[in-house]
Amino acid sequence: MDSTMSTKSKWWLSGASIPIMVWTLVPIVWIFATSLKSDAALGDQSKNTFGNFWPKSPTWANYKLIFNGGAKDLFLPALWHSIVICLSATIISVVLATFCAYAISRLDFPGKKLILTTALAVSFFPVIAMVTPLFNLWRQIGLFDTIPGLIIPYLALTLPLSIWILSAFFQQIPWEMEQAAQVDGATSWQAFRKVVAPLAAPGVFTTAIIAFFTAWNDFVFSLNLTSSNARTVPAALAFFTGASQFTQPTGAICAAAVVVTIPVVILVLLFQRRIVSGLTSGAVKG
Amino acid sequence: MTIAADRAPKTDKPVTRKRTITDRARGERSLGWRLAGPAFVVMLFVTLYPILYAIYLSLFNYRLTDPSGRKFVFLQNYGVALTDSLFWQCFVTTFIIVIVTLAVELVLGMAIALVMNRIVMPRRTLRTVVLIPYSIITVVSAFSWLYAARVDTGFFNHWLHFLTFGGFNLDYNWFGGRWSSLTIICLSEIWKTTPFMSLLLLAGLAQIDSSMEEAAQVDGATWWQRFYKVVIPNMKAALMVAVLFRTLDAIRIYDNPYVMTAGANKTLTLSMLVANETINRVEIGMGSALAVILFVIVLIVAFIFVRGFKVDLTTTGGRN
């Protein structure tokens, strides 16, 4: 594909990436700029430059606050909880959804429509109405404020989306390869493991990224089903306080957002490599 | 390669299947449920009880502060909600946000996906950078757009003032009116969730066999014809899932307008109305009824979409 592309269209595509990056990055840089502002600079235009964008005297005070200062005990455990809980939920959910979506798009069995419809229905019930009964149930069975107690609701949050994305993805995989394997005497399971799984890898990793961010973003479950042993970053941010009780912790929240984004970017880089390699291997051609 | 033909409906299939349930078909059925079962059970374990409980509560007149005064009122809550002008105002606001963000995100997301699919340099950087907004926690992104648009803390007015050579008023208050508030809410929503769209569309695009596109090109099809007749039909399933889940998520928009306006200037959305009833006014019965109404709206929209796209994910592709 790359070899057939003319130099002109290569340049055109590189050119098109510039506005995309600007649109994406300006708000990111803005969050970073805000994290470098002192409380005084936040509302005072004379202390900022470049159209009230960048602080004239950047300060690391907000980062000190979240790593050493008052927010330390709140932020670092929350970051750890977020990573553990969201990764676990993502892995479990993607594995379960892969099996489920494979069955839906490849096998003939009654109840497929029921599974897809249920997935849609449960994922779109307003979370806010779900959280109170879940809170009572969790207290009774001892799951309140535990890591599994948050992984389980996140599975419910990410599974439906994963099942739908993967079902759509699996439908478009050229299945001649699997049939060929079955003709050669492989069972359904062997055909799945040896032939389909490598073909499905890009879809699976795309789903993993989306499932991870869905869990990562959750605020309502974390706020209501945890208190300190499993609280994740979005809920912990709600408990941030400023330098004094009466200043809004805008800078600290932005600093936390910047710090929290770094592991996510690393994760995306790792996953994204799999997407690219999977998508460019032309194993099914011919 | 006959991907399109594989998905054509095979009308005679169920008949032949029913006539002879072979050992192989029976094995397939049990494997089907063994593979799909665990996911199904986990989903229901968490959600079934809360959903049924909420539906049950929606039939009561029930304030959390007055549990003994709980009274069965059947569908009265639904009647009150559906005849309330505030409900319909929230309905309109929510659907303005949904339609605007979806339309922009579909075009923008597709454009970004097309560029990401073909780009050579800077391929990895672009694919990583594009995803970053999706990783920013919604509340944080909402706060950053709020601060960016505000007169005292923001840069929007300064930059617009500069770009229009002083034509734009530096003291313009974006949060002073309904439409300007909704503009900022939609912009930040678009910025935050377009990556979801472009990532899913990219996955769909990458699955298209490029030889089909090349064949169309050899036959003299223009770029637009290839896009419309080859690319779109072959990524329909991915397109449907992206549009469906984005729409249904947008209908439930909550954090973003909550941070920006808290519902001022007629920017209250349906989810915010549900939260107001249950949390602030502790009207559990009414709140549950509103949640169920919101849920039904979402299901209707989902049904229309699935029908409209004419994609059936349950057909087993590639078999005769």
- Give A86-123 pLDDT, tens digit per residue: 999 999 999 999 889 888 887 888 888 888 888 888 87
In a domain, B42, yes or no: no
> Is B47 a member of any domain?
no
Of these ranges, A145-154, B156-165, B219-228, B273-282, the one predicted with the greatest mean pLDDT is: A145-154
**Closest residue of chain B to A150, computed from CA coordinates:** B46
* CA–CA separation, A66 and A80 (whole Å): 14
ipTM > 0.85 (yes/no): no
Q: Which residue has the tokens 């602030």?
A: B280
Which chain A residues are closer than 8 Å to B254 by Cβ? Answer: 128
Which residues constitute the domain of residue B131?
58-315
- Judge whether B265 lies within some domain: yes
User: Is residue B238 a part of any domain in this protein?
Assistant: yes
pTM of this structure: 0.84
| pLDDT single digits (tens) A235-271 | 887 777 555 555 567 788 888 888 888 888 888 777 7
- Total domain count, chain B: 1
| Residue B295 within a domain | yes
Q: Which H/E stretch holds residue B163?
A: helix B156-163
Determine, yes or no, domain membership for B32. no
Whether residue B50 is contained in a domain is answered as no
Amino acid at B283: E
The Cα B157–Cα A109 span in angstroms is: 59
Residue of chain A with shortest Cα separation from B38: A96
Angstroms from B121 CA to nearest CA on chain A: 6
Name which of B44, B54, B132 is nearest A28 (Cβ-Cβ): B132
Work out the burial of residue B218: count CB atoms within 10 Å of its CB; fewer than 13 is exposed, 13-18 middle, 19 or more buried. Answer: exposed
A124 and B314: CB-CB below 8 Å? no
- Tell me what percent of the residues of chain B surpass a pLDDT of 70: 89
Substitution target from B18, B144, B271 for chain A, most A beta carbons within 10 A: B144
CATH for B271: 1.10.3720.10
Q: Please judge whether B203 and A206 are an interchain contact, meaning their C-beta atoms are less than 8 angstroms apart.
A: yes
Do B314 and A113 lie within an 8 Å CB cutoff?
yes
Both tokens assigned to A230? 């499993």
Give strand ranges (E) for chain B: 60-63, 66-72
Residue A142: pLDDT band (50, 70, 90) is confident
Mean confidence (pLDDT) of chain B: 79
Q: Is residue B41 part of a domain?
A: no
Beta bridge partners of B66: B63
Chain A partners within 8 Å of B36 (Cβ): 99-100, 103-104, 109, 111-112, 115
pLDDT at B1 over 50: no
Question: Would the CB atoms of A155 and B46 count as touching at under 8 Å?
Answer: yes
| Rounded CA separation B10/B314 (Å) | 13
In the numeric block, which tokens belong to residue B237?
């399933």
pLDDT for the residue numbered B306: 82
Q: How many C-beta atoms surround the C-beta of residue B3 within 10 A?
A: 20
Instruction: Answer yes or no: do A131 and B50 touch at CB < 8 A.
Output: yes
> Distance between CA A14 and CA A7 in Å, rounded?
11
The pair of structure tokens assigned to A132 is 């109170």
HSE-up of B197 (CA within 13 Å, CB side)? 25
